A and B are shown apart, each in its own frame.
Chain A
Amino acid sequence: MSRLIVPVKKIFILLLLLALSFSALWIFFSAPAAAERIGDHYISINGSEMGAANIVTAVLGGFRGLDTLGEVTILFLSTTGIGLILSMGGQYFRWLQFRPHAVLTAAIPYLFTAIVFYGVYIIVHGHLSPGGGFQGGAVIATGFMLLFFTDSDHMIKKKAIYISESLSGLSFVILGVLGLVLAGSFLMNFLPHSVRDTGRLLSAGTLPLLSLFIGIKVGAELSGLAQSLIGRKEHKEVDK
């Protein structure tokens, strides 16, 4: 008797998943469109309350700023947890054993400045064009990650990362509380944000400041993440 080659179990799992996700998707896509959406409301009050050209950033930093605060907290918890787990047991060494390519090594001193400036540009223009704190912070962290790849002795001080991310997070909360005190609700836009200025660099009240703080925080956290994942150069031999 020959062994059954057809993986019945896997095919069964596959068919079950197909049916399940298809029915779920069908329900999602066949749902009737709501007559009035919250997004349309945000678009209509954007002019009077935020004055930002990029309404996605207005939603992210202004109307749903509390969600963003929670998200930044999750990111902070994750980086803290990673640092904690990696430093446990004293076996904290360089995982990635490779020599960087000559092209990367030669290009990164010039590229690093350009990448960081591009990230700063994305952060600063977050309320005008696609972009904002998260995207710009991720771009800056990319620059630092490439730097760590090429020169493994090049480390940012842990303290600098902690201080910059704590200060930016604190400033975010302070801006929110100031909105509560001065304008009546948490993260309310209390700086001047007239519609006439929409599209200028200095417009939209607190939004550029908020995306600046988010950018610093995300950039510092992701750089610290990359640094702790790449690890130190020297090996600590594990006692066997």
Chain B
Amino acid sequence: MMDYFNSEAALTHLMMAGILSLVVIGLYGILTRKNLIKIFLSLGVVETAVNILIVALPYRKGGVAPILTGQGMEGFLDPVPQALVLTSIVIGLAITALGLVMAVKFYQHEGHLNIRKMNGLKR
């Protein structure tokens, strides 16, 4: 039993469980909530899960951040996913802010945020 907890597989399974639960929570929120702001927040949760996935995938046990400190390059992790996640976080922030501002404007016009009642184009 303790062998399992010390193994690299345990780490992978832990990361998988965390990412899985975040993705499920976020997608569940997107599919079942009716409030626009809650939908955008759920989208943010899924985004976080994807970012964790990208960072966690290339992780090896004993890996260190790819920063030269005079100790040699032993165990350097892949720098590309980390740089890409940085990009992804900033884009996620921009998209979330734009969506929330649109929700605010919609609320000013219509007085509600219920997506079940958003049928203005059908009328």
Interface residues of A (CB under 8 A from B): 10, 13-14, 17-18, 21-22, 25-26, 28-29, 37-40, 42-43, 53-56, 58-60, 64, 67-68, 71, 74-75, 77-79, 81-82, 85-86, 88-89, 91, 95, 129-130, 132, 134, 198-199, 218, 225, 229
In the bound complex, what is the Cα–Cα distance between A221 and B113 (angstroms)?
28
B98 adjacent to A82 (CB under 8 Å): yes
Contacts of A130 in B (CB 8 A): 65, 67
Contacts of B66 in A (CB 8 A): 39, 43, 54-56
Contacts of A55 in B (CB 8 A): 66-68, 76, 79
Contact of A78 among B12, B81, B95 (CB under 8 A): B95
Closest to A39 in B: B78
Contact of B67 among A29, A54, A86 (CB under 8 A): A54
Contacts of B83 in A (CB 8 A): 56, 59-60, 64
Interface residues of B (CB under 8 A from A): 12, 16, 19-20, 23-24, 27-28, 31-32, 53, 57-58, 65-70, 73, 76-84, 86-87, 90-91, 94-95, 97-98, 101-102, 104-105, 108-109
A22 adjacent to B20 (CB under 8 Å): yes
Nearest chain A CB to B37's CB is how many angstroms away? 13
* Given A29-B57, A229-B101: A53 and B68 interface contact (C-beta under 8 Å): yes
A71 adjacent to B91 (CB under 8 Å): yes
Most B-side CB within 10 Å, residue of A21, A38, A79: A21
In the bound complex, what is the Cα–Cα distance between A81 and B97 (angstroms)?
10
A75 adjacent to B76 (CB under 8 Å): no
B20 adjacent to A56 (CB under 8 Å): no
Nearest chain A CB to B73's CB is how many angstroms away? 6
A71 adjacent to B90 (CB under 8 Å): yes
B80 adjacent to A38 (CB under 8 Å): yes
Nearest chain B CB to A121's CB is how many angstroms away? 16
B80 adjacent to A225 (CB under 8 Å): no
* Given A53-B69, A218-B90: A21 and B24 interface contact (C-beta under 8 Å): yes
In the bound complex, what is the Cα–Cα distance between A143 and B67 (angstroms)?
28
* Given A42-B79, A43-B79: A82 and B87 interface contact (C-beta under 8 Å): no
Known pairs A64-B84, A82-B98 / 15 extra A-B pairs, C-beta < 8 Å: A13-B28, A14-B28, A17-B28, A25-B23, A39-B79, A39-B81, A54-B67, A55-B68, A56-B83, A67-B84, A75-B91, A81-B98, A81-B101, A134-B90, A199-B70
Contacts of B68 in A (CB 8 A): 53-55, 198-199
* Given A56-B66, A71-B90, A134-B86: A39 and B80 interface contact (C-beta under 8 Å): yes
Nearest chain A CB to B28's CB is how many angstroms away? 6
